[in-house]
Homo-oligomer: A and B are copies of this chain.
Amino acid sequence: MSQTAYRTHHATEVTEDLVGERVTLAGWVDRRRDHGGVAFIDLRDNSGLVQVVINDEEMARPLRSEYVIEVEGTVRLRPEGNENDHLATGKVEVVADRIDVLAKSDALPFQVSTALENESENKLPGEDVRLKYRYLDLRRPAMQRNIKLRSDMMRAARTELDKLGFTEVETPTMIKSTPEGARDFVVPARLVPGSWYALPQSPQLLKQLLMVAGVERYYQFARCYRDEDFRADRQPEFTQLDMEMAFVDQEDVMAMAEQVIAAIWKADGYDIKLPIDRITWQDAMDKYGSDKPDLRFGNELVELTDYFKDTPFRVFQAPYVGAVLFKGGASTPRRQFDAWQDWAKQRGAKGLAYVVFAEDGELKGPVAKNLSEAERAGLKEAVGAEDGDAVFFAAGPRESSQLLLGAVRVELAERAGLLKPDEFAFTWVVDFPLFKRTDDPDDDDVAVGHSKWTSMHHPFTMPSKDWIDTFDQDPEHAMSDSYDIVCNGNEMGGGSVRIHRDDIQDRVLNVLGITPEEANDKFGFLLEAFKYGAPPHAGIALGWDRTVALLAGADSIRDVIAFPKAGGGRDPLTGAPAPISDEQRAETGVDYDPEEDD
């Protein structure tokens, strides 16, 4: 497999077994050291490193970092004492008798050498520089690992899906705009001037059509597109592992997805205990202040609404009061508590109330003096604190207060170093509401209809069995058959049972305030398809960039994407997006005027 026109072996195949044999290698000059007239080259290829010894000064002279060379030579054991235990090839070296320079390298904008990887001198430049020279950034071993891991994970997922009887189907990416809550990227259609394709936000409707088509088990690593304002960890195009099954219910899909997730993690050596635990959406909010709770640590929120039901403290006279424990927080300096206030305000809260249980048993902090005697006396027990701890409070509307406490909980864990990237705490979140209010300030999706209700997931989500007959009478409390898979506080994916009957679909659209005309215009083809024998079906999709980043322990999804975009959708490498020529513009048909041309 290694043997090509340029090499007999990869670097890491050069082991003691080959001592005395001639080999030809090809790769990059990772590092060069000179010692007593002898040059030592770390030759790097896709597999790793091997040391090359060059006794001939003439031969060694031209070689610089990142030159591409072909080396012919003889393998020998390194002199005693010179072995490198950190290297797979550390017992041997190749004594070169021919070196061809296949390509030279200018001085590098930043160092990529393996040897420097964990040393402080290997200070990476800013991300724009890394992206501009992405082909160099990707040479770094950490990035090589990420790219390789992503490929391995895809293989593992596919192998498992194959075992489970899935068919891989590619769906088109130049489609009709569909209503999924974000802005579409659009493509002018030259052959139909004035008309546009949309790039898919997901293959949602197409995969549902595949179920109507009798494919029964479909999957695809699907490219998806959302034209959203730039946020740190979003990309305008992204990949999802998209799956859909016919003749199944929620349990079937969850069991299938667990098999796939376990196979993916197994590809990197991790065993995930199945079945994965479940938590209801309501419990997740109550206990962790999040619909994607990080369960690598405990420290559940404590609800104190009842506890403070007769409080004299105006702030706590609220529909919800809750707290989160700051273990050992009593010794925190005042200015750090002030910083917490700023942190909370940046998140849109008014502030962050707290009390301190001093080591001497005294209750301190700005809130303490506002509480009644009885409230002060019982508080430590009510929140499960001990002397030396502190407690943060939130009071106000239930959901936003819980979300604030949930964020505090994660921030505390982060600062305490509890968030280990190589520990994985999975959970299913289930029993979601079917709808949510369109005026929810914490929500970044665009409502698809004109009512005060929008879909919690999307308009094609099936109401749960108990609510089939009544969801439109009580949209606030109606529940859906949907499920999110959460890992370490990230929503890795989610799915639902889909509506497969046009009567139910019509009623859901009615709640969303989508008129039959709009529905027909936007996805009439799906409603039409449901008239010809649509099987019950359900599915799930994993956000693949996030899933890879989680397993890779990468801070950003950009570290697991070969060529990601920078802020604003720019590509510092190629300069995209860019102006187009007048001729090109004319051809797109965007300036087509039907009156003029008719």
- A575 x B176 contact (CB < 8 A): yes
Quick one: given A151-B167, A213-B138, are A189 and B533 in contact (CB under 8 Å)? no
How many whole Å from A85's CB to the nearest CB in chain B? Answer: 25
Stretch at the interface among A98-106, A381-389, A449-457: A98-106
Quick one: given A5-B252, A209-B134, A247-B26, are A155 and B162 in contact (CB under 8 Å)? yes
Q: Which of A482-508 contact B (CB under 8 A)?
A: 500-501
Quick one: given A173-B223, A569-B192, are A501 and B212 in contact (CB under 8 Å)? no
Quick one: given A148-B167, A248-B5, are A578 and B196 in contact (CB under 8 Å)? yes
Quick one: given A103-B533, A138-B214, A501-B103, are A196 and B579 in contact (CB under 8 Å)? yes
Judged by a CB distance under 8 angstroms, whether A142 is at the interface is: no
- A562 x B210 contact (CB < 8 A): yes
How many whole Å from A199's CB to the nearest CB in chain B? Answer: 7
What is the chain B residue whose CB lies nearest that of A589? B577
Judged by a CB distance under 8 angstroms, whether A236 is at the interface is: yes
- A192 x B144 contact (CB < 8 A): no
Judged by a CB distance under 8 angstroms, whether A464 is at the interface is: no
Chain B residues with CB under 8 Å of A239's CB are 170
Q: Which of A176-233 contact B (CB under 8 A)?
A: 176-177, 183-192, 194-199, 206, 209-210, 212-217, 221, 223, 225, 227, 229-230
Stretch at the interface among A120-128, A263-271, A274-282, A523-531: A523-531
How far, in whole Å, are A422 and B183 apart by their CA atoms in the complex? 47
Q: Among the listed B5, B214, B251, B569, which residue makes an inter-chain contact with A139, where contact means beta carbons less than 8 Å apart?
A: B214
- B213 x A134 contact (CB < 8 A): yes
- B570 x A192 contact (CB < 8 A): yes
Judged by a CB distance under 8 angstroms, whether A416 is at the interface is: no
Q: Could you say how many copies of this chain the assembly holds?
A: 2
Chain B residues with CB under 8 Å of A198's CB are 576
How many whole Å from A62's CB to the nearest CB in chain B? Answer: 13
- A209 x B135 contact (CB < 8 A): yes
Chain B residues with CB under 8 Å of A147's CB are 167, 169, 215
Stretch at the interface among A328-336, A352-360, A549-557, A580-588: A580-588
- A576 x B197 contact (CB < 8 A): yes
Quick one: given A174-B576, A571-B176, are A46 and B216 in contact (CB under 8 Å)? yes
Chain B residues with CB under 8 Å of A588's CB are 186
- B536 x A6 contact (CB < 8 A): yes
Quick one: given A187-B185, A578-B177, are A106 and B532 in contact (CB under 8 Å)? yes
Q: Which of A353-371 contact B (CB under 8 A)?
A: none
Chain B residues with CB under 8 Å of A27's CB are 247, 535
Chain B residues with CB under 8 Å of A190's CB are 183, 227
Q: Which of A517-563 contact B (CB under 8 A)?
A: 525, 529-536, 561-563
How far, in whole Å, are A40 and B194 apart by their CA atoms in the complex? 53
What is the chain B residue whose CB lies nearest that of A252? B4
Chain B residues with CB under 8 Å of A44's CB are 214
Could you name 17 residue pairs across A and B whose Cβ atoms are closer than 8 Å? A5-B251, A6-B249, A7-B247, A26-B247, A103-B534, A103-B535, A103-B536, A106-B532, A133-B532, A144-B214, A170-B221, A172-B571, A173-B223, A176-B571, A186-B187, A186-B584, A213-B562
* A interface, CB within 8 angstroms of B: 1-2, 4-7, 26-28, 44-46, 66-68, 102-106, 108, 133-139, 144, 147-148, 150-151, 154-155, 158, 162-165, 167-177, 183-192, 194-199, 206, 209-210, 212-217, 221, 223, 225, 227, 229-230, 236-237, 239, 245-249, 251-252, 500-501, 525, 529-536, 561-565, 568-571, 573-580, 584, 587-588, 590
